[in-house]
Each structure stands twice: as C-alpha cells, then as structure tokens.
Amino acid sequence: MSAIKINKLTKTFGGITAISNIDMDIDRGTIAGLIGPNGAGKTTLFNLLTGMYTPSSGDISYKDKNIKKLKPYKITDYGISRTFQNIRLFKNMTVLDNVSLAFNHNIDCNIFSAIFRLPSYYKEEERIHDSSLKLLEIFNLEDKKDELAKNLPYGEQRRLEIARALAADPDLLLLDEPAAGMNPNETKELTELIKWIRDKFKLTIILIEHDMSLVMGICDKIYVLDYGTLIAEGTPDEVQNNERVIEAYLGRKVSC
Amino acid sequence: MGKLLQQLVNGITLGSIYALIALGYTMVYGIINLINFAHGDIFMLGAYIGFALTTFLNMSFIPALVISMLSCAIIGVVIEKVAYKPIRNSSRIAALITAISVSLFIEYVMMYFVSAETRTFPDVLAGKKINILNGRVILNSKDIYIIIITILLMIMLQYIIHNTKIGKAMRAVSLDSEAAQLMGINVDKTISYTFAIGSALAGAAGVLVGVYYNSIDPLMGMVPGLKAFIAAVIGGIGIIPGAMFGGIFLGLTETMVSAYGNSLYKDAVAFAILIIVLIIKPNGLFGTTAREKV
Amino acid sequence: MKWFNKKNIKMIILVLGTYAISEILIKANIIDSYIEMNLVIIGINIILAVSLNLITGFTGQFSLGHAGFMAIGAYVSAIATAKLGLPFIAAILLAAVSAAFVGLLIGIPTLRLKGDYLAIATLGFSEIIRNILLNIEYVGGASGFNDIPQYTTWTWIYFMVVITVTVIKNFVNSYAGRACIAIREDEIAAEAMGVNTTLYKVLSFIIGAFFAGIAGALYANYFYFIKPDAFGFMKSIDILVIVVFGGMGSIKGSIVGAFLLSLISLLLQSVPEIRMILYSLILFTIMVYRPQGILGDYESSVKLFKRGGKLNVGNQNK
C-alpha cells in the first residue's frame, strides 16, 4: 500500500534544474533512504514534499490527495512532518514548548477560550502538557523540559527536533540528516530509535543521510539521487552494487 | 502641451533631488544592509552648511556646494564609525532602530541649537527665466542648474564605481564581504568611502534644495528622506542605476499627481507606490528575486 | 472555574484594591487633576506599548505604524461621540473594531515582508492614514477635530489598562502565544510544524490594532481635541521606544517602560528637544549595550537584535 507517490516531479529555479523527473512510490510502514552526493537535490525534494516549494511540474500524491499546491501547515495537518538539515529549533523557547507547539494544529479550542480562560482551554493545555512530557520521556529529555532549546548539546537538539516532529502527529516522517555530527555510538542509538518509533507510531519514514551504516542498516529501500535525477533505486544490497551509484560517489566505501 | 512640458521639467528637477539622496541610501544598503534613516538628515545638514557658508562667509554657489559636500562626507563617515560600526553584526531591525535614533539625535540637536524656524537661503544662484517654445514653457535657470549638476555628479559617481579601485572594492564588498576581505580589500575603509560618497551627494542635494526653494528648517530632511528611500526601493535597493531611475520616476509621479490630480495626496501616493512595490516586486524594478535557503 | 486559584485571587484583590485607593486619593484631592492627567497619559501609553509588543516583541513583526491604529481609534471615537452622539462604550467598541479592521487590511498585504521592509511598509501605511485624515474636512482636516466630549475618566483608563494587559497576557501565555513566538523564532520551522503563520501574523496585527484603537478613543475623549499630526511617525517612535526600553517580549517591561518614559517626558516637557535627544540616546544605548531593555528576556532580545556574530555586510545576508 502506497504511503506517498511522486510522479515525474521536477523543480527548476530560474535556469537551474534542481530536481528532474523523479518517480517514487513508497510503501506504508517502510523506511526509505534517500542518498546522493551533496547538492543532488535531496533536501529540495523534502521541501517539495512538505510544501515549502511548489513543483515546476509533476505530482505528489499522498493519501489519495494531490498535495503539491498545498501550504506547508496544511500538509502537516494531513500527516507529513519533518526535521531539518541544519536544525531549526525554536531556540529561545523551552524544550517543552518546542514540542508543545507541534500539538497546536490538533487543538480543540479557540482563541476566545484562551483569552477568557474557559474550561476547554485548561483541558487542552493539560492534554498537550501531558502528551509533550510523554514524548520527551521517550527521547530522554524530560528532565530538561524547562531548558531553552539553544542550551542543549548538539545530540539532544537533534533528538528534540525528532520529538517535535512526532508531536505533529504524522503518518509520514521526513528526517533530514538526523545523524549529522553524531559519533558511531550515538548513530547506533539513533538507528534503534528510528526503528522503534516507526513501529510504535506506525510511521512511514523517508531518511536523508550520508552515514551509510545508518542507511544500509535500517532502510527497506534506497533511492539514489545525483544532479537532481534518480539514478538508482532498490534494496541496500542492490544499491551498494550498482555501478552508477559507485561512480556517483567516486568509489566511496560502504561499511556494513 | 506647454503645461505638460513645464510639469515634466519640474518633475525631473524634483526627481534629480530625490535621485541624489536615493543614491546614498542605496549605496549604504547595498554594502551593509542598513536603511540609513539619518541620511535625510545629512541632506538637511548639507543645506544648513550651505546656508552658513553663503550667508556668513559670503561664498558663492560653487565653492559653497563643494565645501558642503566635503563636510557632509566627513559627517557621514563619523556617523558610520560612531553609531553603525558597533551594531554591524546586529540584525536589520536593530540597525534600523539605531539609524532612527541617530536621525532623531541629529534633528533635535539642530533644533536645539538653531531653533525650529525656517531660514532663508540667500539668492546665490540667480534665477533667470528662459522662454522656450514661444513662451509656452517658462524654465527657470535654477531648474537647468539642478539637472545639470545632478547629471554631472552621477557621471562622476559612475566613473568612481566602475573605473577606480575603490569603486571596484565597493562593488566587491556589497556582493560578498568575506571573499572581498580574502582578496585583500579593507572592508572598513570601503564602507567609510561608501558613506562618504553617499553623504556628499545628499549634501549636494541639500544645497541645491536650499538654493531652489530658498528655505530650510531642521526637519526638512524627514519627508524628502523617506521619499528618497521610496525612490531607492522602486529602483531596487542596492542598485545604483535603480536609485537614479527611482528618483526621477518618483519626482515625475509626484509632480504629475500635484498638477493633474490632488496635490494634497501626493505624499500618500508616494507611500502607496512604496507598498505596492514592496508587495509585488520587493527587490525593485531593476532587482532580482532572492530566496531563503531552507 | 479553573482560573479561580490563589494566585489569581490575589491579583484581583490587588487590582481592585489599587483602584479603590486611587479613587479615594482622587476624591480627596490628594491626586489633583494634574497628576490625574499624567496617570491617564501613562495608562494610554501602557495600552499602546503592550499592544505593540504583541505585534513586534512576541510575533516578531516589526511595525512602525502603530500610531496609525491609534489615529483610527481616536477619530472613530470622536465621530461617534461628537457627531453621532453615541454612548462612550459604543464609541470605544466601534473605535477598537475599526482599528482592528485596518490592522487586518495592513496585516494581509505585508505578510511576505520581513524585518526592515515590513517596518517601512507599516510606516507607509501609517503615513497614508495620516495623509488621508489631513484631507477629510468632515473631521476637521489639518486644523483638527475639536469639542470631543470628555467621557474618559480615570475609571475608564484604569480598567481598560487592566483588560488590555489581561487579554494580551492570556493570549501570549497560551497555545496561540506559543505559535506567535515560534513564528518569531523561526517562521519556516513553525509552518512546517503545522502553524498557520498567515493566521497568527494577521491575528497579532488585529489584536494589537484593536487595543491601539481603544487607546486612541480614550485619548480623543480625554484631551477633547485631536489632529492628524499627533499620530505621525514620531508617535510611533514614542511607542517603540517604550517597548524597546521596557523589553521586547515582556509585558511587565512595557508597563514599567511606559511609567518611566512618561515620567521622563513629564520632567522634560519644557524642553522637548532635549527630551527627543534623550530618547535617541536611550534607543541607541539599548541597541548597542542592552538589547533586552530593562525587563526583557536577554536571550530572545539577542535573537531579535544580534545575528550571532555574522557580519551584516554585503548582499549575502539578505
């Protein structure tokens, strides 16, 4: 069953073609890897999927809906959430608030109940508070809940970003280089964490990564991008032995 | 037909003034991303210096103009060093607030010392009436002077920008300051030069306005300053030909609105144009569209 | 009633108690009409500062046109009371709603603008409003609108301040406030996390304008004479100085800032140039040495005002 289907997706910026004729069909509940040299267009693809860019041509079909013209917050409403390559936390908000914020679009009260402090406001605040804390516990961040996000060490910031993305209640989670800057131990923990959240939250995950141990370790299927086009797709084994892929990476070693 | 030509000349004259001031705005924004709110006040200072030179030292027009320009250049450099350098690594909002504070400071220090009343500029540039087209268009020689001086200054500016080392440095720094530094360009000095040139042009505009309209006051920089900023935005802020174009365009538009529409609304029209440009093409008519990387 | 807790009861008693005391002092003429006038000015400034803080300090939308909203409120209230003979409560509501509507009109087209471009656009809108008012004979044009019934009492001021602070405080300390602050911190990330940034940016303009309109109405019906030039760029700067001085993103800061700066204005009213020079020095000093103002959050102010050391030179930082 398809989680998200991309059909001949193309994106040009002025004279530059960032993405060209991409076809992808990702099954529900799988973890798909998106790899390729820097500048291949991976983050651009994420930006297209989340509505930050509008495709120049092509379609994106999610839950039987064509989402290519929707605004980002609407797409989040439909169940797609993401993390960012360069960590975009709300630096001067607390850890707890960062996560709570993502619950906003599912809130069941309005501005008036907030201003006049009606019962529905308190009920929702409590629900959000408890749900946020539960998520923080999963990511081992609950004792830092009142800390400002900018004061967290790098690894915890990355975890917080994932926690925040999950608070948005997605069915499809896009992770943009979640292991960047992590040491092998942290990466191993992250690998287990990703598998675990996929199972617990019943997610489909698309993962951009350069760390091949992570990619080959948990991905069910891998897509390889180079200069904006899809040059290979398949299981980790298939992709590792693909000549075009090896060429694109200039003989980059893949460790198992 | 005669009236139209008359208004065209008026518009170009007014537009020349706006263009001279707008050039300073655009050069400074291009190089340090700052809307120099105090720029209009340098224009005012130029007028007062010209006033002082012609009234108290009995100088004639050209020397007064030149000395006023030089003084404004120095003042501009001083302002940059004292007020803008400390906030160079701050956000644009902070820079804007700082610029506003500098503007207020200059205006009210002047108010305190010279009082708010308007002064009359001595008639150093004799206004002669020139009849052309059988008297249907009456030009004032002051118009000609302003337009010619503006053209001369712009030619000089273009020469500096494109044919001198410092001009090249200015262009380099406004494109990529770090790369410019790596190429051995002294960024601080380049910024100072930019302020100096921009302020000199504003000072010239001040003297010309004093000569043309004959009256000056401490707050005279506010509205022309804002209008010149609008002109710079119209052409594309940071783009020098854009400032020239924007200035003339705004001058013509304002004159036409005054002559054929309702002169009471000319300010509102200028601001309306600003908002429309900011919304439709924020980088101006000559600008390119920038994009934030996600 | 969840809000009926100990902390809020103490606050209610404090607010009512202070009011009672102030009324007694006024009746006993210990607070004479001169002091009362200054308290009125402080009250109006608090409403203006807190409402601007919502737009600029909390949501990060830099607005230099707040005086425009005040102007709308003042003139609508003046028309409603002087020309239409409406009761004050109706006039205030009309004023607030009109100003809020203009806030909506200004908030929508300026959505895509950022930082200093947004500031200049809001300044432009405010100047357009002033320019239009100067040319409407019905409200007196440049000579101003005179003989506005003096309905504003200390009671009105006091409770309007209380309402303004309570409403904005409740808004900010709720999920909506979190959305606004998130927009200020990182608009792209906020949008990605499901925040309808358009809605919240426009909403903050609407609410901010609403209360500025109330301030305008209170002003018009106290000083019984208004003219368009009182609501120009200088007025917007005055309010901005209070917000920056008190601390962007701090409601307490706006209240304290309004007090202190109104006092400074009062002391310097015989030398208005010195007052403006002092204002300019205050602004400058804060920007360079203490961007968080008196009570602001250092961290959020640094974010708003500094760029973490990256040199703001050249086009690449646009």
pLDDT in tens, C213-223: 999 999 999 99
| Residues A95-124, mean pLDDT to the nearest whole number | 87
Calculate the alpha carbon distances from B253 to B22, B247, B248, B257, C137 in Å: 16, 10, 8, 6, 25
Give the pLDDT confidence score for residue A11 in this predicted structure: 92
Query: Same structural domain for residues C127 and C170?
Result: yes
Q: Does A91 sit within 8 Å of C192, measured CB to CB?
A: no
Q: Does B294 sit within 8 Å of A13, measured CB to CB?
A: no
Which of C109, C128, C273 has the CB atom closest to B271's CB atom? C128
| Residues A53 and A45: beta-carbon distance below 8 Å | no
Q: What's the pLDDT band for C28 if we cut at 50, 70, 90?
A: confident
| C165 and C218 together in one domain | yes
CA–CA dist A23, A4 (Å, integer): 11
Indicate the burial class of B157 (C-beta count within 10 angstroms; 0-12, 13-18, 19 or more). Answer: buried
Interface of A with B in 31-60 (CB under 8 A): 43, 47, 52
Mean pLDDT of chain A: 90
pLDDT at B241: 87
pLDDT higher than 70, residue C141: yes
CATH number of the A2-79+170-248 domain: 3.40.50.300
Question: C133 — contact with chain B (CB < 8 Å)?
Answer: no
Number of domains in chain C: 2
For residues A225-250, average pLDDT = 85
pLDDT interval class at B133 (50, 70, 90)? low
Mean pLDDT of A161-182: 93
Q: What pLDDT does C102 receive?
A: 95
- For residue C98 the two structure tokens come to 């009109």
Residue C46 and residue C191 share a domain? yes
Q: Which of B2-6, C153-157, C207-211 is least confident?
A: B2-6
Nearest chain C residue (CA) to B115: C273
Q: How far apart are CA B227 and CA B232, in angstroms?
A: 9
Any CB–CB contact under 8 A between B294 and chain A?
A: yes
Task: Quote the pLDDT of residue B56.
Answer: 86
- Helix orientation angle between C6-27 and C154-172, rounded to the nearest 10 degrees: 160
Delimiting residues of CATH 3.40.50.300 domain(s) in chain A: 2-79+170-248
Residues B93-126 have pLDDT tens digits of 788 889 999 999 999 999 888 877 777 877 776 6
Please state the rounded mean pLDDT for residues C293-297. Answer: 79
Question: What is the enclosing helix (H) or strand (E) of A222?
Answer: strand A221-226
Count other Cβ atoms within 10 Å, centred on residue C112: 11
Neighbour count for residue A14 (Cβ, 10 Å): 8
Res B186: pLDDT: 86
Q: Indicate whether C53 and C200 sit together in one domain.
A: yes
What number is the ipTM of this complex?
0.90
Please name the residue of chain C whose CA is at the shortest distance from the CA of residue A78: C194
**In chain B, domain spans:** 2-118+126-221
Domain boundary residue, one of C185, C216, C232: C232
Distance of CA C300 to the CA centre of its chain: 20
- Asked if A89 is an interface residue toward chain C (Cβ–Cβ < 8 A), one would say yes
pLDDT in the model for residue C312: 42
For residue C309, what pLDDT is reported? 37
C23 and C51 housed in the same domain: no
pLDDT of residue C308: 42
pLDDT for res B196: 94
Angle between helix axes B187-213 and B165-175 (nearest 10 degrees) is 110
C79 and C59 together in one domain: yes
Given an 8 Å threshold on Cβ–Cβ distance, is A13 in contact with B291?
yes
Same domain membership, residue C199 and residue C178: yes
Does residue C317 have a pLDDT over 50? no
Mutate to test the interface with B, among C280, C285, C286, C290 (most CBs of B within 10 A): C280
Domain with C12, as residue range(s), is: 1-31
Question: How much of chain A, in percent, has pLDDT values that exceed 90?
Answer: 63
Segment among A97-101, A184-188, C3-7, C161-165 with least mean pLDDT:
C3-7
Q: Does the pLDDT of residue B294 top 60, yes or no?
A: no
> What does the block give as tokens for B28?
């400074």
Question: pTM score, two decimals?
Answer: 0.89
Helix, strand, or coil (residue A181): coil
Contacts of B111 in chain C (CB under 8 A): 273, 276
Is A100 in contact with C189 (Cβ distance < 8 A)?
no
Q: Tell me if B292 and C188 make a contact (CB, 8 A cut-off).
A: yes
| Statement: residue B292 has pLDDT above 60 | no
Mean pLDDT of chain C: 88
Percentage of chain B modeled with pLDDT above 70: 93
Q: Residue B89: its pLDDT value, please?
A: 79
B129 touches chain A (CB under 8 A): no
Residues 25-64 of C with CB under 8 A from B: 62
Residue of C nearest to B113 (CA): C273
pLDDT above 70 for B289: no
Which residue of chain C has the CA closest to B268?
A: C128
Residue C301 pLDDT exceeds 70: no
pLDDT at B127: 66
- Asked whether residue C116 is assigned to any structural domain, the reply reads yes
The verdict on C23 and C91 lying in the same domain is no
- Residues of A with CB below 8 A from C167's CB? 115
Supply C61's token pair: 């939308």
Q: Hey, is B85 helix, strand or coil? A: coil
Contact partners of A by the rule of 3+ C-beta pairs under 8 A? B, C
Residue C238 lies in a domain: no
**Cα A242 from Cα B173, distance rounded (Å):** 46
Token readout for B35 is 């809307």
What's the average model confidence in pLDDT over B247-256?
Answer: 93
Q: What is the pLDDT of residues C204-215, one digit of tens each?
A: 999 999 999 999
